[in-house]
Chains A and B, each alone.
With several copies, the nearest count.
Chain A
Amino acid sequence: MTQTEPAVAGASLVVELRNLHKSFGALEVLKGISFTAREGQVISLIGSSGSGKSTLLRCINMLEIPDQGDVLIDGEAIALKGSGPHRQIGDENQIRRIRSELGMVFQSFNLWAHMTVLENVMEAPLIVQKRQRSEVEAEARAMLDKVGIGAKADAYPAQLSGGQQQRAAIARALCINPRVMLFDEPTSALDPELEVEVLRVIKLLADEGRTMILVTHDMEFARSVSDRVIFLHQGLIEEEGSPDEVFGATRSARLKQFLNAASHD
């Protein structure tokens, strides 16, 4: 089912998923997913609701633990112990180190409400990576400027609009200087107007050559930003390829149907 992806010349493998399976109770959500992301690639995960996109993304940083299969970051397999639904993190230190290299941006932002925007951004570098405060602060402010909310550094999340909150969340993820950015429908909690601001920022990152894996419902956006598009269907990769292949020369009947429905939204 899965294809070997078109090799990007010279770029190293950053994320590699091998045969991931995940069930919730009786519901088998992922049925064997493998793919890789190379340095600098932008990969979009698309698929209908409930097809397991979020679950897959969350497996990458082990917010969900796959029942079977492995996740490798920079060639290093994340250690897991036990099997099936009883599988657990194998090495707390390793997972913390790896997580602090994966910048996750949630659909509902999940900013820490009790910290200012600046504190949110500085939190992980200070607490997890134990870096110097002065250096982190300078970098955090730069990141906030970059995403266009430098003026809001000292505001609390509740005082920002949704779009500003999501940009703060992106800054937070960027500030840990991640190997890969993971986005789970970063704009679907936003009004169309606010959406635009956030998409602009993500596009900027893509153009800079950041490695990113993003779940999105916005086909237009996926097309314009991705190097590769993966279509999930019923827990499997139904189709995968460059945007032109996937959107232009759709092979799978299901993907056709999906794209059809999506364009009617």
Chain B
Amino acid sequence: MLDDIAFWVGYLTNGKHLTWYASFQFTIFAALMGGALAVVFGLTGATLKNSRFLPLRLIGTFYSAIVRGVPDVLFFLFFPLAFEQAVEWVIATQVCSPEAIAAQTAPWPPCREANWFLGTWEYLLLASVSLGLVYGAFASNVIHGAMRSVPQGQLEAARAYGMSARQVLWRVHIRQMWVYALPGLSNVWMLIIKATSLLSLLQIADIVLWADRLGAPNYLPAVGLVHDDWRWRYYLVLFIFYILVTWLSERAFEAIMRRAGRGILSEAQG
């Protein structure tokens, strides 16, 4: 009995498992970074949509329509790869000699010097940006709606007291906008969390990849504990992990909502 416990504790704390636990950092990083960027892109998109200048408005509308019209996985894969290629192409125009380009046999990059090495963290960053872009489109919709929900009188009062357009925007409009945007942003955040499960598709050794490797059957004692296919157990852990994170996020958003809603939401007064 005691031996069993000791064995399982040992097994669950071996280096391979520790690496798995450590890989949660990628997921958490991508979620937080992606979330922050989604807000940034969301604000940008909402500003574009509100722009008086027609082309900008079109860009804003087009951005949110297109990104939402295709599967998130597709954009999630496309963006980092396309971005890498775009950067390499730009580098190529600077550094590649015509001979080097002619000598290049591989389909990409244009020449050897133009190659941009992407490691885990670069991919993670690009993955976060692509999460930010995809869910920024949703956030921009949410924020756009929330900006319009702020009562006109609040802004008028600010104007009447001589605040500049910028002061009105930041001190009153955006400040009050959050309250109306938070429920929607909470939804977007839940989506981002769930989308972090796709990191392994961008060659990041994330929790999903490690769960797969840990659960895979092993027949060779030299490799480690011999066991058959345990994958579903490991995935079950991830399944529960995500549910817990969702639950925690909900609680956190409720708390944020109470704070941000002070004075604005009557329910929040208790």
Contact = CB atoms under 8 A, between A and B. Distances in A.
Interface of A: 61, 63, 92, 95-100, 102, 104, 106, 108, 110-116, 123-124, 127-129, 156-159, 172, 176
19 contacts: A63-B159, A96-B162, A96-B164, A97-B162, A104-B161, A110-B151, A110-B154, A112-B172, A113-B154, A113-B263, A113-B264, A114-B179, A123-B171, A124-B161, A124-B162, A128-B162, A158-B263, A159-B263, A159-B269
B262 interface: yes
A123 B168 CA distance: 11
Nearest to A107: B153
B176 A123 contact: no
Nearest to B264: A113
Interface in B149-202: 151, 153-154, 156-165, 167, 171-172, 175-176, 179
A98 B159 CA distance: 11
B181 to A, nearest CB: 13
B266 A158 contact: yes
A104 B162 contact: no
Contacts of B176: 112-114
Contacts of A159: 263, 269
Given A112-B172, A123-B171, A100 B162 contact: yes
Contact of A176 (B157, B159, B161, B165): B161
Given A112-B158, A123-B171, A159-B269, A92 B164 contact: yes
B263 A106 contact: no
Contacts of B160: 61, 63, 99, 102, 104, 106
Contact of A127 (B163, B175, B262): B163
Contacts of B157: 104, 106, 110-112
Nearest to A117: B263
